[in-house]
Amino acid sequence: MVATTGDQWPSPSRAWFAAAMLAAANTLAFVDRQALALLVEPIKNDLQVSDTAMSLLYGLSFTMFYVLVGIPVARLADRANRRNIVVAAIFIWSLATALCGVARSFATLFIARVGVGAGEGGLSPAAYSILADYFPKDRLPAAMGVYQMGIYVGGASALLLGGFIASVVPPASIVQLPLIGAVKGWHLVFLMLGLPGLLLSGLMLLVREPARMGEGGSEPSPPFSAVFTHIGQHWQAYVGISFGFALMILVGNATGAWIPAFLERKFGLTTAEIGLAYGAITAICGVGGTLTGGFAATALRRRGIERGNLYAALFGFVSLIPVTILFPQMPSAALSLTLIGLMNFLAGFNFGGGLAALQEITPNRMRASVSAGYMLMVNLIGAAGGPVAIALVTDYWYADPQSLPDAITLVCAIASPLSVLALLLGLRGYSRAIGTPILKSSLA
């Protein structure tokens, strides 16, 4: 279905139903992704691997699928039915998560995690494009905030469910399952978390593919060269926003991957205790931040503040600097968890406005491709680089697993300020982009 800029936007009920379903998909993606962080210590002990190897399992394996096929899938999303791409992605990553539950070696677990990478590879570029065709520009930041809420609901659900399962079946214990045979307790976590996605992939068919709105919506998908030309014309906006968020997500993924191990090593908390405490904090603070930030950016836009999307994000970026540096150095688990909660709130606060800004300055038939480029940078720098950075500092700079808190602080002290500088470049380019006649007319 194709629409011109003069056609009517979908009804609010249809739009928010689509946003809720896509948020549910994003939630499951992060359930399947974050479960590994809770199980770092038992998997590491069982497979006899180093912190660096575990960081590759958490980050690099996840990004490999995206690096290989993310751009082609996004190009398809700019031409074809985006809803169906989302359906296929959910099915693939859920099956891959279940396969993690039968892996017996580091190599097979790594391969299964590559399949889990299909989640963001197939989901987010298509989802961003769908939402931009369901919501006009003054409501899009709030919708993006709802979608990104899935990061924190999913991460928290993985921790809470994983912690609950670990309290019933310890990760190192052996369980006999029909057909599969003997598995460890940590295998059982992956098996159970992979099942809900198979159901959601069917329910996602209830979401309608929206008409393509805005500039370029009624035209055929442009050649890839046109995408690069458009990005080159507004390179400061695209590079600054993407690199800024990549560095912020580097901090988020780096800390998210190692916070459970940090809490266990520094404060002696058990897997079950970490899952329940850290999971609850992630759910409450992360969800609160994404919703607050998305609706704050929406409020700024409705008041006529054209740069409100990135003003909201800039506030969160700056506030993250002291929080990310200080939480590993707190003398008690309670103080650390308090700052971790604030960190999750501030990180979530940034997404709605930042993602809406990227969609706002991009013609319709380029949105999934541009989003794929953004996700590629985020995954290579943030998802893969963050966990590895902390692991390398721990293993080779300090050469002591108990120095994990200092490694986290060092990485955050470098990456958090750099993310602010990058976002300032993006804000400058964004101001120019929204003032160009062709974009200004398409966004009116």
51-70 residue pLDDT tens:
778 877 776 776 776 666 77
Residue entry with tokens 């690199």: 243
DSSP 19-31: HHHHHHHHHHHHH
Task: Tell me the pLDDT of the chain averaged across its residues.
Answer: 84
| Over residues 396-412, mean pLDDT | 88
| For residue 286, pLDDT beyond 90 | no
| Over residues 351-368, mean pLDDT | 86
Tokens describing residue 243: 């690199």
The span from the CA of 54 to the CA of 223, in Å, is 40
Is the pTM of the predicted complex or chain greater than 0.75?
no
Kind and range of the H or E run holding 174: strand 174-177
| For residue 216, pLDDT beyond 70 | no
Which pLDDT score is estimated for 356? 86
What's at 240, amino acid-wise? Answer: G
| Over residues 203-222, mean pLDDT | 77
- DSSP designation for 223: P
Which pLDDT score is estimated for 437? 46
| For residue 104, pLDDT beyond 70 | yes
pLDDT range class, residue 411, cuts 50, 70, 90: very high
- 66-70, 278-282, 342-346, 394-398: least confidently modelled range: 66-70
| For residue 443, pLDDT beyond 50 | no
| For residue 438, pLDDT beyond 70 | no
CB 383 within 8 A of CB 63: yes
| Over residues 410-436, mean pLDDT | 90
What does the domain layout of the chain look like in residue ranges? 12-204+224-443
Tokens describing residue 312: 């909201």
Which pLDDT score is estimated for 67? 65
Task: Kindly compute the dihedral angle of the four CA atoms of residues 72, 385, 62, 225, in this order, to the nearest 10 degrees.
Answer: 0
Which pLDDT score is estimated for 65? 67
| For residue 151, pLDDT beyond 90 | no
Q: Which of 67, 156, 58, 181 is nearest to 109 (CA)?
A: 58
Which pLDDT score is estimated for 441? 43
The span from the CA of 378 to the CA of 19, in Å, is 22
pLDDT range class, residue 403, cuts 50, 70, 90: confident
Of 321 and 93, the one with more pLDDT: 321
CATH tag, 12-204+224-443: 1.20.1250.20
Tokens describing residue 294: 């998305």
The span from the CA of 344 to the CA of 320, in Å, is 9
| Over residues 165-181, mean pLDDT | 78
The span from the CA of 270 to the CA of 378, in Å, is 31
Which pLDDT score is estimated for 6? 45
DSSP 273-311: HHHHHHHHHIIIIIHHHHHHHHHHHHHHHHTT-TTHHHH
CB 423 within 8 A of CB 240: yes
Which pLDDT score is estimated for 214? 65
| Over residues 150-158, mean pLDDT | 81
Which pLDDT score is estimated for 219? 58
Determine if residue 377 is left, alpha or beta; phi over 0 gives left, psi from -120 to 50 gives alpha, anything else beta. Answer: alpha
